[in-house]
Amino acid sequence: MVDLVVLQSVSYVAVAIGVVLAALNYIVTSIREDRRSKQNLETRQAQLFMQLYQSATNPELNEAEFMLYDIEFKDLDDWNALLKDKEKYKAWMIYGSCLEGIGVLVRENLIDIRLPALLMSGDITWFWERYKPGISDCRSKRNWPRFLIETEYLYDRVKDYGREHPELQIASPSIT
């Protein structure tokens, strides 16, 4: 006959083994889910990068960029003049909105700053440095504190990234 103490000991061991197996199963499942999440994140970042790349090579954006070279915007008066020229305003807004959207993606950690820094750091720094005075003037005089705030954030992050990675030679192009 089997001793009750032995049966009780065996049941305790069985429960302990069950708990250990359940814990191991949880750990293995968590690791698998973690890997899937990381793969999903990497896939999503790659998709966002490709969309970013496609927009950077979009003919409409390139045409808008070309028009920016003729657009002066140093203060609120320049902004008001820009509002009266539909084609220039459209070009400025296409470009500014594109950078604003990229800034949101970076701020929300949907894309790593490395991607826009590698792809378009010159465009980002040129745009911000050229139009910062006008943007700042509109922010204060029109009570518009968020006017291109994400573009400014993007610029700051690109400049920080450039300082952290001097080998990339991130700089503002000298385009007049």
Q: How do the residues of the chain divide into helix, strand and coil, expressed in percent and rounded to 5? A: 80, 0, 20
Q: Is 32 exposed, middle or buried, given 0-12, 13-18 or 19+ CB atoms closer than 10 A?
A: exposed
Q: What is the pLDDT of residue 168?
A: 85
Residue 60 makes CB contacts below 8 A (sequence gap 6+) with: 94
- Least confident window among 53-62, 134-143, 147-156, 160-169: 53-62
Residue 58: what are its φ and ψ, rounded to 5°? -70, 130
How is the chain split into domains, by residue range? 1-42, 58-168
Cα 155 off chain centre by: 11
- Closest by CA to 92, choosing from 156, 135, 58, 54, is 135
Q: What percent of the chain has pLDDT over 90?
A: 49
Residue 152 pLDDT > 80: yes
Q: Considering the entire predicted model, what is its pTM?
A: 0.74
pLDDT digits (tens, 9 = 90+) for 105-124: 899 988 899 989 988 899 99
CA distance 12 to 9: 5
Q: What is the pLDDT of residue 56?
A: 72
pLDDT digits (tens, 9 = 90+) for 52-87: 777 777 888 889 888 999 999 999 999 999 999 999
pLDDT bracket for residue 44 (50, 70, 90)? confident
pLDDT digits (tens, 9 = 90+) for 2-29: 566 555 665 666 666 766 666 666 777 7
Rounded mean pLDDT of 163-169? 90
